[in-house]
Amino acid sequence: MQQINWDDLHYVLVVARTGSLSASARILKVNRTTVLRRINAFEERLDYRLFERSHSGYMITPEAEQLLSNARGIERSILDLERKIAGHKLQLEGELRVTTTDSILPVVIPHLDTFHRLHPLLRVELAVTNNRLNLTRREADVAVRPTVNPPENLWGKKIAELAFAIYATSGFIKKNAGKPLAEHDWLGVDEPLSTSQPGRWLRSEIPEEKFCLRADSFIALKMAAEQGLGLALMPCHVGDDSRKLKRLGSPIPELNVGLWILTHADLIRAARIRTFIDHITTSMHNQCDALLGIKSRP
């Protein structure tokens, strides 16, 4: 009987999830050839075809569905064990993988310097993405991100409230003075931001044909707005930081969203994770006014 190696199953699960060798290689932190070699070798050892290959990617064969289902169960058990072991580590050393979005990064990054000076043996790995990394699968240890309802399997602290407002250049505002909001050219959000509160507000308030550009990043929208392309809805700390943009009116109260720092419940007892969460929460306290769009007086 052929023995099955967990590492091989891990490669199979990642390829099945992504449907792509290149995407799998990025997640596994190896090159594309390594992923191809491991999948081919696994199939040859088992004399079992796991995937249908096509130009559009890799799809699990119907015959392999049961194996994949069993592999997912093994993965859940191993990840659960790894989290519980990691949750009992008391040393303030090792790696700490943190994920945040590109618009929140400028708020977080100043505090990483003080954290490093206080805890030089802890190495922070930063994953900046607007996609939600899966903390259950240990794609990250800690997430700093906006959310209305944190998942029940995560433990977290609410750091502050994020406010949103509409921004444009002075030239754009002057050129379009007197127009109702729905008649302006607008910059819209794309996936994954389209399902956020700002995304839903834009869909409900602005006709589809008025969006002249979409982006999956508030930083990209800020840059486009600075070129005078249209109105942009964005976090106040992003828009207020621009010398080229002016805020139209006050922040929109119904768009306020909590900024949370989150980890998996199994990891909260790990000293390195609890220390990081406490440091960021305390350090960011003084930024609450800026995040709420409250401008400091000169």
- The boundaries of the domain holding residue 197 are 164-255
Tell me the average pLDDT across 48-70: 78
Does residue 19 surpass a pLDDT of 90? no
Is 279 domain-assigned? yes
Please state which of the ranges 158-167, 176-185, 287-296 shows the lowest mean pLDDT. Answer: 287-296
* Dihedral angle, C-alpha 213, 215, 221, 223, nearest 10 °: -90
Does residue 43 surpass a pLDDT of 90? no
pLDDT at res. 21: 86
Percent of the chain with pLDDT over 90: 37
For the chain, the average pLDDT equals 84
Neighbours of 70 (CB within 10 A): 12
Tokens matching residue 75: 């993965």
Domain boundary among 87, 116, 136: 87
What is the band of 151 on the pLDDT scale with cuts at 50, 70, 90? Answer: confident
Please state which of the ranges 36-50, 177-191, 258-272 shows the lowest mean pLDDT. Answer: 36-50
Please state which of the ranges 30-34, 58-62, 82-86, 280-284 shows the lowest mean pLDDT. Answer: 82-86
DSSP state of 2: P
Are 274 and 152 part of one and the same domain?
A: yes
Are 18 and 127 part of one and the same domain?
A: no
Are 265 and 151 part of one and the same domain?
A: yes
pLDDT at res. 76: 72
Would you give the end-to-end CA distance of the chain in angstroms?
76
Are 183 and 240 part of one and the same domain?
A: yes
Is 285 domain-assigned? yes
Are 198 and 278 part of one and the same domain?
A: no
Is 47 domain-assigned? yes
SS (H, E, C) 270-297: CHHHHHHHHHHHHHHHHHHHHHCCCCCC
Q: What angle do CA 65, 67, 68 make, to 5 degrees?
A: 65
Are 81 and 189 part of one and the same domain?
A: no
List phi, psi (to 5°) of 120: -65, -15
Are 286 and 150 part of one and the same domain?
A: yes
Tell me the average pLDDT across 276-290: 80
pLDDT at res. 298: 39
Are 79 and 37 part of one and the same domain?
A: yes
What is the band of 101 on the pLDDT scale with cuts at 50, 70, 90? Answer: very high
What is the full DSSP assignment across 17-28?
HHS-HHHHHHHH
DSSP state of 5: P
Are 146 and 105 part of one and the same domain?
A: yes
Is 103 domain-assigned? yes
What is the band of 247 on the pLDDT scale with cuts at 50, 70, 90? Answer: very high
What is the band of 285 on the pLDDT scale with cuts at 50, 70, 90? Answer: confident
Are 158 and 264 part of one and the same domain?
A: yes
Q: Which residue has the higher pLDDT, 85 or 108?
A: 108
**Contact of 96 with 272, CB cutoff 8 Å:** yes
Is 297 domain-assigned? no
Q: How far apart are CA 262 and CA 273, in angstroms?
A: 10
Dihedral (CA of 258, 262, 265, 269) sign: negative
pTM, two decimal places:
0.67
Is 76 domain-assigned? yes
pLDDT at res. 221: 96
Is 144 domain-assigned? yes
Neighbours of 255 (CB within 10 A): 17
Are 102 and 117 part of one and the same domain?
A: yes
Is 296 domain-assigned? no
Domain boundary among 87, 112, 135: 87
pLDDT at res. 286: 67
Domain boundary among 87, 104, 123: 87
What is the band of 166 on the pLDDT scale with cuts at 50, 70, 90? Answer: very high
CATH number at residue 171: 3.40.190.290
Task: Using alpha carbons, select from 93, 193, 99, 91 the residue that is nearest to residue 137.
Answer: 99
CATH number at residue 101: 3.40.190.10
Are 141 and 281 part of one and the same domain?
A: yes
pLDDT at res. 206: 94
CATH number at residue 78: 1.10.10.10
pLDDT in tens, 61-97: 877 777 777 777 776 766 666 666 555 555 577 889 9
Q: Which residue has the higher pLDDT, 242 or 149?
A: 242
Q: How many domains does the chain have?
A: 3
